[in-house]
C-alpha cells in the first residue's frame, strides 16, 4: 500500500486512455394518442441520439477526476463505457490495459463501479455476508481481506452496522457500506456515479474524508460524477466538464474558476441604508437588506472600485468572495449551446 503521493496527482503512467469514443442510441418516438399508437405498430419513427461524441481523454494513475455536466450530458454513459457495461459506437478505450467491454475477468478484478442508487449489497442480509461473497468472487487472500475490511469499516465508522440487515439501514449508512464492498478487492480504478446523492451534510463529509484517505493510502485512480460542487472542491484536482456528449473543459478546478468567473461578490456592512443610485455606481446590487449590501462587481474593475467604496462610504465590514462554484458551473452549462439535432428521422 502506498502512503506517499498525498497530492494524488497522476504520475505520468496512463491507466485510462480514451480516443474518439462515441455512443449513439436509437430511440423510438412514441407519439401521443390512440390512433398514432396504432400506427406505431406498423411504422415506428426513430432517431439517433448521440449520448457521447468523440471523447478523448487520458487519466494517469492516482488522479482524482470529477466529471461534471447537466443531466443527460453523457457522464453516466461515459462511466458505463469505461466499466464495460456498454459498447461504443465508435472509438477506443483502454482501462488498465484492457478493452473494458471485452469484460475479461482479469480486468473486472481490478476496478470497481459504485452507482449511487444501485446496490451490490444483499438487501435482506447483513453487509458482512456480501463482503464474504466479494472475498470469494474477487479471490481476495483471507488475511488481506480481514485487514482491508477492518481498515475500511473503521475509516467510515460503520463497524456496528455490518451485522445488521441492509434493509434496516439509512441511505447514508448503506452508501458507506457500498463503498466498503466496492473497495475490498483494492481496485486500482474506481468509478463513482453520484456517490453522495441524497445524503445529508455529515454523511457527505464522512465520505469525502474517507475517499481522500483511501486514495492517499493506495494509489487509486478515481473518476467521479456528481452534481455537488462540494464533492468536487473536497476531492478533485482535475475537472472534466461534459455537455451534450462532448468535453467542454478539461483542467484543474482553479482553471475553471479562473476562466469562467467574470465577477466577484462584495458584501458590505454600511453605517446606514444606502440609496440604490449611490451603490449602483460600483456594481450590480444582488441584495440590499438595510445597511447590508451585496454587490456583483466585474473582476477587472475590483481593484479600482474597492478603494473608492471604502473612501466614499461608511463601511463597517467588507468581504470579497468568488462567485459560488455552483453558479459558475450553472453558467458554464447554460453557455454551452445545444448542438444541431443529431440524425434525421427515419
Q: How far is the CB of 296 from another protein (least distance, A)?
A: 42
Q: What's the start-to-end Cα distance of the chain, in Å?
A: 55
Closer residue to another protein in complex, CB, 125/288: 125
Q: How far apart are CA 25 and CA 132, in angstroms?
A: 38
C-alpha span between 138 and 186 (Å, rounded): 10
Nearest alpha-carbon partner for 244 in 104, 341, 168:
341
Least spacing, CB of residue 225 vs another protein, in Å: 15
Min dist. Cβ of residue 195 to another protein (A): 15
Q: Which is nearer to another protein, 135 or 149 (CB)?
A: 135
- Between 149 and 208, CB nearer to another protein: 149
Under 8 Å between Cβ of 3 and 217: yes
Closer of 251 and 291 to another protein (Cβ): 251
Count Cβ neighbours within 10 Å for each residue of 43-72 and write b for 16 or more, e otherwise: eeeeebebbbbebebebbbbbbbbbbbbee
Distances (CA, A) of 165 to 65, 152, 158: 33, 19, 13
* Minimum separation from the CB atom of position 178 to another protein (A): 11
Nearer residue to another protein within complex by CB, 99 or 318: 99
Of the two residues 55 and 268, which places its CB atom closer to another protein in the complex?
55
User: 300: closest CA among 260, 256, 263?
Assistant: 263
- Whole-angstrom distance, CA of residue 26 vs CA of residue 148: 43
Distances (CA, A) of 90 to 19, 23, 27, 82, 87: 9, 7, 18, 14, 9
User: Which spans of this chain sit near another protein (rule: CB under 8 A)?
Assistant: 13-15, 17, 19, 25-26, 56, 58, 61, 80, 83-87, 92, 94, 96-97, 101, 103, 105-106, 108-110, 112-113, 115, 118, 120, 122, 124-125, 129-130, 132-133, 135-141, 185-186, 188
Which of residues 83 and 226 has its CB atom nearest to another protein in the complex? 83
- 18 strand-pairing partners: 57, 93
Residues 6+ apart with CB under 8 A from 232: 66, 68, 226, 239, 253, 325
CB of 6 to another protein, least distance (A): 21
- CB 71, min distance to another protein, A: 16
Looking at the Cβ atoms of 135 and 238, the one nearer to another protein is 135
Give the torsion through C-alpha atoms of 35, 40, 43, 48, to 10 deg.
130
**Least distance CB 249 / another protein (angstroms):** 19
Rg (CA), the chain: 25
Q: Name which of 81 and 268 has its Cβ closer to another protein.
A: 81
Beta strand 189-193 with 221-225: parallel, antiparallel or unpaired?
A: parallel
CB of 42 to another protein, least distance (A): 18
* Shortest distance, position 332 Cβ to another protein, whole Å: 26
Amino acid at each position: 500500500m502506498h502512503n506517499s503521493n498525498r497530492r494524488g496527482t497522476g504520475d505520468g503512467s496512463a491507466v485510462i486512455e480514451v480516443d474518439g469514443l462515441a455512443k449513439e442510441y436509437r430511440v423510438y418516438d412514441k407519439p401521443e394518442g390512440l390512433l398514432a399508437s396504432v400506427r406505431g405498430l406498423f411504422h415506428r419513427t426513430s432517431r439517433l441520439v448521440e449520448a457521447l461524441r468523440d471523447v478523448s481523454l487520458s487519466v494517469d494513475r492516482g488522479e482524482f477526476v470529477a466529471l461534471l455536466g447537466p443531466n443527460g450530458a453523457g457522464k453516466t454513459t461515459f462511466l458505463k463505457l469505461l466499466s464495460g457495461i456498454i459498447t461504443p459506437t465508435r472509438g477506443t478505450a483502454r482501462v488498465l490495459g484492457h478493452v473494458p467491454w471485452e469484460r475479461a475477468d482479469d480486468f473486472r478484478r481490478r476496478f470497481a463501479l459504485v452507482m449511487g442508487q444501485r446496490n451490490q449489497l444483499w438487501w435482506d442480509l447483513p453487509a458482512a455476508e456480501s463482503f464474504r461473497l466479494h472475498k470469494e468472487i474477487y479471490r481476495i487472500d483471507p488475511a488481506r481481506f480481514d485487514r482491508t475490511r477492518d481498515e475500511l469499516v473503521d475509516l467510515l465508522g460503520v463497524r456496528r452496522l455490518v451485522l445488521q440487515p441492509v434493509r434496516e439501514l439509512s441511505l447514508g449508512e448503506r452508501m458507506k457500506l457500498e463503498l466498503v464492498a466496492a473497495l475490498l478487492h483494492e481496485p486500482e480504478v474506481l468509478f463513482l456515479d453520484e456517490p453522495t446523492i441524497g445524503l445529508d451534510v455529515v454523511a457527505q463529509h464522512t465520505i469525502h474524508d474517507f475517499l481522500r484517505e483511501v486514495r492517499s493510502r493506495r494509489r487509486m485512480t478515481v473518476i467521479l460524477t456528481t452534481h455537488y460542487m462540494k464533492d468536487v472542491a473536497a476531492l478533485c484536482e482535475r475537472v472534466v466538464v461534459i455537455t451534450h456528449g462532448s468535453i467542454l473543459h478539461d483542467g484543474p478546478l482553479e482553471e475553471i474558476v479562473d476562466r469562467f468567473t467574470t465577477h466577484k461578490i462584495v458584501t458590505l456592512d454600511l453605517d446606514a441604508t444606502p440609496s440604490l443610485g449611490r451603490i449602483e455606481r460600483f456594481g450590480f446590487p444582488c441584495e440590499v437588506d438595510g445597511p447590508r449590501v451585496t454587490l456583483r462587481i466585474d473582476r477587472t474593475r475590483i481593484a479600482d472600485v474597492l478603494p473608492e467604496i471604502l473612501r466614499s462610504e461608511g463601511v463597517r465590514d467588507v468581504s470579497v468572495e468568488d462567485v459560488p462554484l455552483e453558479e459558475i458551473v450553472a453558467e458554464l452549462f447554460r453557455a454551452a449551446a445545444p448542438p444541431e439535432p443529431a440524425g434525421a428521422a427515419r
